[in-house]
């Protein structure tokens, strides 16, 4: 009799035990449709958004330079009409710093805005970026380089053809990568614990929330020498268009040293690539 009562009790209580077990499992594992995205999922989403927006901005600058080259093939590389074309192009994007034209010898024929007209008549053929544009005669985007008027920028260059199809020279749009990238990243990461960095393939920093790091060459900076994991990440960036890695470095603002993780992707134009990294603390 006692055995029968126990059996009945067990059968009655068992469903509640199983239900409690299921509820406990749901609390531990999370209900997929209600659970928040994991940190990695969130990082991938942010990375996709910033990569896409940055590439769109680069494409806009590229299209502007291409359209300008086409217009200059009619107006010529100098004169009031070419100046008007350059002014209109400059107004198309806030990151544009200068627009100039130079002939097949590298001599500057037109320049905007007004403060860079000092370049008129100057021979820029000694600059590596100008040499490449004149030799290759194809659209290109440079790495970060020093400007003749001071500072550093990136240039998008397009060949300009004369009405009969001959190579006449180049139109060059210079822009500040930081000004191109910052509005995109700062808006995207607002309210999140993540940050972004953008580098050249060789790990020179084009954008970082710590302005002191912008322009630094990772492999040649004493700041990074005591953090060998950063050099490992830099080597990975060189050889891989996308990836994941971890390293230790200062928190934003050069506070304490923390462990970080990063996923990265790639944007670029005409064979020149940038690595876009989303970074979170572990």
CATH number, domain with residue 272: 3.30.450.20
Q: What sign does the CA torsion over 69, 73, 76, 77 have?
A: positive
* Tally of domains within the chain: 2
Residues 182 and 147 in one domain: no
Whole-prediction pTM: 0.83
Give the number of C-alpha atoms closer than 13 A to the C-alpha of residue 104, restricted to the C-beta side. 6
| pLDDT for 37 | 56
Residues 158 and 201 in one domain: no
Structure tokens at 171: 């139109």
Residues 164 and 186 in one domain: no
Residues 256 and 192 in one domain: yes
Residues 185 and 256 in one domain: yes
SS3 content of the chain, % helix, strand, coil (to 5): 45, 30, 25
State pLDDT tens for residues 27-64: 333 333 433 458 999 999 999 999 999 999 999 999 99
Residues 247 and 170 in one domain: no
Domain extent for 58 = 54-176
145, 176, 207: which is the final residue of a domain? 176
- Whether 24 is covered by a domain: the verdict is no
State pLDDT tens for residues 183-207: 999 999 999 999 999 999 999 999 9
- Whether 44 is covered by a domain: the verdict is no
* Below-50 pLDDT ranges, the chain: 1-36
């Amino acid at each position: 009799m006692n055995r029968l009562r126990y059996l009945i009790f067990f059968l009655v209580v068992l469903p509640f035990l199983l239900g409690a077990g299921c509820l406990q499992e749901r609390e531990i594992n999370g209900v997929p449709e209600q659970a928040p995205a994991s940190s990695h999922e969130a990082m991938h989403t942010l990375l996709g958004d910033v990569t896409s927006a940055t590439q769109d901005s680069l494409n806009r600058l590229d299209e502007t330079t291409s359209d300008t080259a086409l217009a200059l093939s009619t107006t010529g590389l100098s004169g009031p009409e070419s100046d008007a074309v350059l002014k209109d192009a400059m107004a198309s994007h806030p990151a544009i710093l200068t627009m100039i034209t130079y002939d097949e010898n590298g001599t500057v024929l037109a320049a905007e805005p007004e403060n860079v007209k000092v370049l008129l008549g100057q021979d820029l053929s000694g600059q590596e970026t100008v040499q490449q544009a004149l030799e290759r005669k194809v659209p290109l985007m440079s790495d970060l380089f020093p400007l003749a008027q001071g500072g550093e920028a990136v240039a998008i260059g397009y060949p300009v053809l004369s009405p009969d199809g001959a190579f006449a020279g180049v139109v060059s749009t210079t822009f500040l990568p930081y000004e191109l990238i910052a509005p995109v990243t700062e808006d995207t990461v607002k309210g999140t614990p993540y940050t972004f960095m953008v580098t050249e393939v060789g790990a020179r920093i084009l954008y970082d929330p710590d302005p002191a790091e912008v322009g630094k060459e990772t492999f040649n900076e004493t700041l990074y020498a005591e953090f060998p994991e950063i050099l490992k990440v830099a080597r990975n960036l060189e050889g891989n268009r996308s990836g994941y890695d971890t390293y230790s470095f200062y928190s934003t603002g050069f506070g304490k040293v923390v462990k970080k993780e990063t996923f990265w992707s790639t944007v670029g134009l005409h064979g020149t690539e940038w690595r876009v990294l989303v970074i979170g603390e572990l």
